Amino acid sequence: MSSENRRMTVAKADLLDGGSDARFRDLLYDFFAFGGRLEEARARFAAYIGLTPAQYLIMIAINRGGPDGEVGVAQVAERLHLSGAFVTIEVNKLVKSGLVAKQPHASDKRRVNLSVTPLGAKMLERLAALQRPVNDALFASLDRADFEVLSGIMRRLARGAKQAIHLADHIVAGEKAQARD
């Protein structure tokens, strides 16, 4: 393997352009730049209503509800790709602040249904006036077809990302074990 190939950051042929990973790297640079701007927007949205970025996302997810109108900690954690324990801690803070309410689940007393309180709903209404123009600006370059394609791609990437991180941890752990031997 040539030294150039050893420095390549991807091996999947579909991600190479003429045997080079340069276009893939450019994609990642753009991805990181856009992701950074999304994080900045999220932080500003959260600060606007006096929440942490994680609490803001949790409030938005609770407000969106579940397919049957109910949403619990597990559904919020899954939707946001967070741990259930972390979501529970943050939900408890939101409950204490009067922004979220917990009700016992009708058929499973170990679970709770989460909802945004009237105070929380008022806060989210105020926030929406900021979110709409900012989100429109962030995604101004997309038409409906682009949006549909990007939405599907992002869903697939998000699902595969956790597995990729586990793979990285496994490889690093294996190298550390070999270095000790």
Pick 104 or 15 by higher pLDDT. 15
pLDDT over 60 (residue 10): yes
Predicted local distance difference test score (pLDDT) of residue 5: 63
Over residues 128-180, the pLDDT tens digits come to 999 999 999 999 999 999 999 999 999 999 888 988 998 999 999 888 888 88
pLDDT over 90 (residue 55): yes
- Determine if the pTM surpasses 0.85: no
Pick 110 or 22 by higher pLDDT. 22
Domain ranges of the chain: 1-45, 49-141, 143-181
pLDDT band at 68 (very low <50, low <70, confident <90, very high): low
61-to-81, 97, 115, 180 alpha-carbon distances in Å = 11, 17, 10, 45
Q: State whether CATH 1.10.10.10 applies to domain 49-141.
A: yes
- Distance between CA atoms of residues 152 and 100, nearest Å: 30
For the chain, the average pLDDT equals 91
Predicted local distance difference test score (pLDDT) of residue 98: 97
